[in-house]
């Protein structure tokens, strides 16, 4: 829905409170912690606000503490380098006087070069797949707090090519997934905003992919969290047009699941690559 997407655009539009200092807020969705993709997107906005004439080509981030959705987040930008071709920024997200998130991002001016890329995996068109809300029908009961939260209007539209994660722990699934995603509405033409929206959406299903082959029951006894996150932006794209998010988890050990992924445009161009490690800890 465009309204939900407009709310996300507003959430990513940080307030500049001083040189290299920005303030962000969280949507009031009664969450216990701030969604990791939101913090990553806002931190990338903060870094990008200190750059002119260059686009982000990579980011590396660590989730340090759970964010508090009830209070603003302060983003402090350190201008580490401005060279002839690249600029590097470090961003620290702060709440209650402590760092909750750290990001390093590199920006580059446009350059031409020879190219190669991996092939896009086969997938049915997104139009042939059910929308997220229809996909949930029969899987959760209305009136359940989790079910109602999952059915809320979302700024990112998702359509699953493969079956969603079995949250009961009874079904063993292959550690890979393909999901079509796009902003649910139209975005302004700012390339940084499109990359921030993809950064936001990139945190949505990676933990699920790492958990697919495991007998994990997703309830209050399972502690999960994103630990670190990296994105490499390869080619121009629009986040309000369908992107195939192809994911694979090569490893789970030490209570940490590792997932790699690629974003492809509909015509098969590799737009971005992602890697993430997440925590899976059974408390009982």
Residue 145 lies in a domain: yes
Assess if residue 116 is contained within a domain.
no
Asked whether residue 124 is assigned to any structural domain, the reply reads no
Active-site residue (options: 26, 95, 106, 226): 226
Q: How many structural domains is the chain composed of?
A: 1
Catalytic residue among 58, 95, 106, 276: 276
Q: Is residue 270 part of a domain?
A: yes
119 within some domain: no
Residue 214's domain comprises: 2-110+130-282
- pLDDT, residue 241, reads 98
- Asked if residue 121 is part of any domain, the answer here is no
- Strand arrangement of the beta sheet that strand 21-24 belongs to: 15-18, 21-24, 73-82, 86-95, 98-108, 55-63, 222-233, 270-282, 256-265, 243-253, 176-183, 156-160
- The answer as to whether 194 is a domain residue is yes
31 is catalytic: no
* pLDDT per residue as tens, the chain (284 positions): 588 899 999 999 999 999 999 999 998 776 778 999 999 999 999 999 999 999 999 999 999 999 999 999 999 999 999 999 999 999 999 999 999 999 999 999 999 999 999 999 999 999 999 887 766 665 555 445 445 555 667 899 999 998 777 666 677 788 999 999 999 999 999 999 999 999 999 998 999 899 888 877 677 778 889 999 999 999 999 999 999 999 999 999 999 999 999 999 999 999 999 999 999 888 87
Distance CA 265, CA 250 (A): 24
For the record, the structure tokens of 35 come out as 């969604």
User: Which tokens belong to 96?
Assistant: 């209650």
Q: Is residue 202 part of a domain?
A: yes
203 is catalytic: yes
Residue 208 annotated to the active site: no
Q: What is the pTM of this model?
A: 0.92
Q: Which entry of 166, 184, 203, 240 is annotated as an active-site residue? A: 203
CATH number of the domain to which 55 belongs: 2.40.160.210
């Amino acid at each position: 829905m465009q309204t939900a997407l407009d709310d996300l655009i507003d959430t990513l539009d940080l307030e500049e409170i001083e040189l290299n200092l920005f303030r962000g807020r969280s949507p009031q969705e009664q969450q216990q912690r701030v969604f990791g993709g939101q913090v990553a997107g806002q931190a990338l906005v903060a870094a990008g606000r200190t750059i002119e004439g260059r686009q982000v080509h990579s980011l590396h981030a660590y989730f340090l503490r759970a964010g508090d959705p009830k209070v603003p987040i302060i983003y402090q930008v350190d201008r580490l380098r401005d060279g002839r071709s690249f600029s590097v920024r470090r961003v620290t997200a702060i709440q209650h006087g402590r760092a909750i998130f750290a990001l390093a991002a590199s920006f580059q001016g446009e350059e031409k070069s020879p190219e190669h890329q991996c092939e896009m995996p086969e997938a049915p068109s997104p139009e042939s797949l059910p929308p997220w809300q229809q996909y949930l029908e029969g899987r959760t009961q209305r009136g359940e707090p989790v079910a109602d939260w999952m059915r809320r209007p979302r700024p990112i539209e998702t359509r699953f090519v493969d079956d969603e994660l079995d949250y009961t722990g009874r079904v063993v699934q292959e550690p890979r997934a393909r999901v079509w995603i796009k902003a649910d509405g139209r975005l302004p033409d700012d390339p940084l905003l499109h990359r921030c929206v993809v950064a936001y959406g990139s945190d949505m299903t990676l933990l699920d992919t790492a958990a697919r082959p495991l007998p994990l029951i997703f309830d209050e006894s399972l502690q999960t969290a994103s630990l670190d996150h990296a994105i490499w932006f390869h080619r121009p794209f629009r986040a309000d047009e369908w992107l195939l998010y192809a994911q694979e988890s090569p490893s789970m050990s030490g209570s940490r699941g590792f997932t790699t992924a690629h974003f492809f445009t509909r015509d098969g161009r590799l737009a971005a690559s992602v890697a993430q490690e997440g925590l899976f800890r059974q408390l009982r």
